[in-house]
């Protein structure tokens, strides 16, 4: 459950290969294994890596489908 993917580095490589010429929106979220109190670090790492390629970045701070996700705690730690 959650946002299954191969990670931000894989995403960046795919974006580079695509040579897309339009506006590209990229969604980011913390790893499900990252403790809530360290989630901010995941967001910052992802933002830094995708910024050069994104027309806009959507930050997912809640994942209702991820078991054990502490949604209120994630929102508090994002600030």
Comparing CA positions, the residue from 51, 58, 48 lying closest to residue 28 is 58
Question: Which one is catalytic: 31, 34, 63, 66?
Answer: 63
79/75 Cα distance (integer angstroms): 7
Contact indicator for 74, 68 with CB cutoff of 8 Å: no
Whether 63 is a known active-site residue: answer yes
Comparing CA positions, the residue from 48, 49, 3, 10 lying closest to residue 30 is 3
So which residues are the catalytic ones? 63
């Amino acid at each position: 459950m959650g946002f299954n993917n191969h990670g931000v580095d894989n995403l960046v490589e795919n974006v580079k290969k695509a040579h897309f010429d339009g506006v590209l929106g990229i969604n980011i979220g913390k790893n499900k294994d990252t403790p809530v109190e360290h989630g901010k670090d995941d967001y910052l790492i992802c933002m830094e890596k995708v910024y050069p390629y994104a027309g806009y970045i959507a930050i997912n701070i809640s994942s209702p489908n991820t078991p054990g996700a502490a949604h209120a705690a994630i929102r508090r730690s994002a600030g």
